[in-house]
Amino acid sequence: MQELTFVDMMLGSSLFIQFLMLCLLLGSVLSWVSIFQRWQLFRQTRKGHENFRERFWSGMELSELFRDTETNEAEGAERIVFLGYKAFNRIRQKTTDPVAILEAVERSMRIAIAEEQDRLNAGLPFLATIGSVSPHVGLFGTVWGIIEAFRSLATVQQATFAVVAPGMAEALITTALGLFVAIPAVVAYNRYLSSSELLLNNYENFADEFSGLLHRSLVTKKVDAEKANG
């Protein structure tokens, strides 16, 4: 008896089962594209964060640090601190109140952190959808195939396992295919979600450190001004 291959099972399946298999294969291709894109994004983002953190704490003046920075080009912590620094310079020209200045800075950085969250989490809902839907699609194909296999028994006089075995195998392969699609998507989703939360926590801590530096700078200048006037 000739052994059935995966291709033979696909070609020998009903049109509906073939349609489900093609949908699963398409979902697998798209999920792996998304997985690779997310991997590249997080790798570059982590590297950029470490490089900026090293430059920030090197003692370089902020004006020098952000001399060539553009808002639409900066990402991650660099963009968050850069927008906070821009807000600091803008509000400081209008008021000398440290509270008002810091509120404007923190508001700008919170908005930037929210935008970074959207950027990091883009594509994750798609992976979650593929990971949750694919097993059900595979199970639906299995149920449909089993029904068709048992219906085929009505066309034969003697029911044997050899009669239903090919149909059962074709049906069960959709379950295997659904798991094959879902497992990498779920693993990648959980991994990237954890990486996103870790980076966002680092951004928030960095923003707090930057606010603390500005606060100490403003308080020091205010005390010096009071001493000079006194």
Give the span between the Cα atoms of 57 and 74, in whole angstroms. 18
Q: How does residue 93 score in pLDDT terms, banded at 50, 70 and 90? A: confident
Closest to 95 in 3D by CA, of 207, 222, 228: 222
CA 188/CA 171 separation, integer angstroms: 27
Confidence category of residue 17, pLDDT binned at 50, 70, 90: confident
* C-alpha of 62 from chain center: 31
The pLDDT score that the predictor gives to residue 185 is: 95
pTM, two decimal places: 0.82
The Cα 166–Cα 160 span in angstroms is 12
Q: Report pLDDT for 172.
A: 79
Those residues with Cβ within 8 angstroms of residue 196's Cβ, 6 or more apart along the chain or in another chain = 42, 117, 120, 121, 124
Give the count of beta carbons closer than 10 Å to the beta carbon of residue 82.
22
> Does residue 59 have a pLDDT over 50?
yes
Per DSSP, which regions of 92-219 are E strands? none
Question: In angstroms, what CA-CA distances link 192 with 39, 115, 198, 200, 208?
Answer: 8, 17, 10, 12, 24
Look at residue 94 in the predicted model and tell me its pLDDT: 83
The mean pLDDT of 39-47, rounded to a whole number, is 94
Question: Does the structure show a pLDDT above 70 at 218?
Answer: yes
Percent of the chain with pLDDT over 90: 37
Integer CA distances (angstroms), 12 to 1, 149, 167, 181, in order:
16, 12, 9, 22
pLDDT beyond 50 at 1:
no
Least confident of 48-57, 103-112, 121-130, 162-171: 162-171
